[in-house]
Amino acid sequence: TQLLEQSPQFLSIQEGENLTVYCNSSSVFSSLQWYRQEPGEGPVLLVTVVTGGEVKKLKRLTFQFGDARKDSSLHITAAQPGDTGLYLCAQRWGGSYIPTFGRGTSLIVHP
Amino acid sequence: DTGVSQDPRHKITKRGQNVTFRCDPISEHNRLYWYRQTLGQGPEFLTYFQNEAQLEKSRLLSDRFSAERPKGSFSTLEIQRTEQGDSAMYLCASSFSSSSDSPLHFGNGTRLTVT
């Protein structure tokens, strides 16, 4: 069974702190997508990473794709309450058109 | 707003009743997906359409579930003889098939509560 494991499952921090969340698999990713989901809404795409070792930045968010393409991380600098949400990674194995999602990291940033 | 829309946003039904949800994808998107999400979990794949053809269904999908996309535009998901375990958020997403990496655009879901 191909699974995406995300850690930590929950994270509660104060505004201004930094944090990193992880997405791992025993299988090689062809590409990986990160989504954020706010309560009562559907997930929204943040980024797609494709190349091993790739680093992408989106304002205070830094996404890294592992060299072996089996893991990815999302680092948030100086977290803000607006960053609160469920962070999901998603992967299509074997060129499938169907993304499989991890169970997510639920982040709460307290003002 | 030309995003994915889902109707209704909330549905409360009694066990044993049938329910139907509707999804209107982004108009130029030919791929449409249904996912189910329960509290503390990521979205779980249910079924996938390319245009009007239903190309894949999850093995977890009970025979009580059926989905259609009759003209390759909107889609419906019907659950017959609902059970309490069907309580979840049902998410619809669409994408354009330029590549297998095309991002999914999600609606805001239909939250189903079975009492």
The answer, for A40 touching chain B at a CB cutoff of 8 Å, is yes
B69 burial (CB, 10 Å; 0-12 / 13-18 / 19+) is buried
Is residue B99 within 8 Å of residue A96, measured between CB atoms? no
| Number of Cβ within a 10 Å radius of residue A86 | 21
At B78 the pLDDT is: 97
Under the banding of pLDDT at 50, 70 and 90, the label for residue B68 is very high
At A28 the pLDDT is: 85
Residue in chain B lying closest to A102 (CA): B42
Q: Which of B43, B56, B101 sits opposite A48 (nearest CB)?
A: B101
> Tens digits of per-residue pLDDT, B80-104?
999 999 999 999 999 987 666 788 9
Look at residues B82, B88, B67 and name the one whose alpha carbon lies nearest to residue B22. Answer: B67
At A107 the pLDDT is: 97
What φ, ψ does residue A102 adopt, rounded to 5°? -75, 175
> Tens digits of per-residue pLDDT, B36-60?
999 989 999 999 999 999 999 998 7
Mean of the per-residue pLDDT values of chain B: 93
Under the banding of pLDDT at 50, 70 and 90, the label for residue B21 is very high
The answer, for A94 touching chain B at a CB cutoff of 8 Å, is no
The answer, for A91 touching chain B at a CB cutoff of 8 Å, is no
A85 burial (CB, 10 Å; 0-12 / 13-18 / 19+) is buried
Residues of chain A contacting residue B108, judged by C-beta atoms under 8 Å apart: 40-42
Q: Hey, are the CB atoms on A42 and B100 less than 8 Å from each other? A: no
Q: Which of B31, B42, B101 sits opposite A88 (nearest CB)?
A: B42
| pLDDT mean for each 10 residues of chain A (111 residues) | 85 98 89 93 93 93 92 97 96 82 96 96
On the question of pLDDT at B109 being above 90, the answer is yes
Q: Which of B48, B91, B103 sits opposite A97 (nearest CB)?
A: B48
Q: Hey, are the CB atoms on B40 and A103 less than 8 Å from each other? A: yes
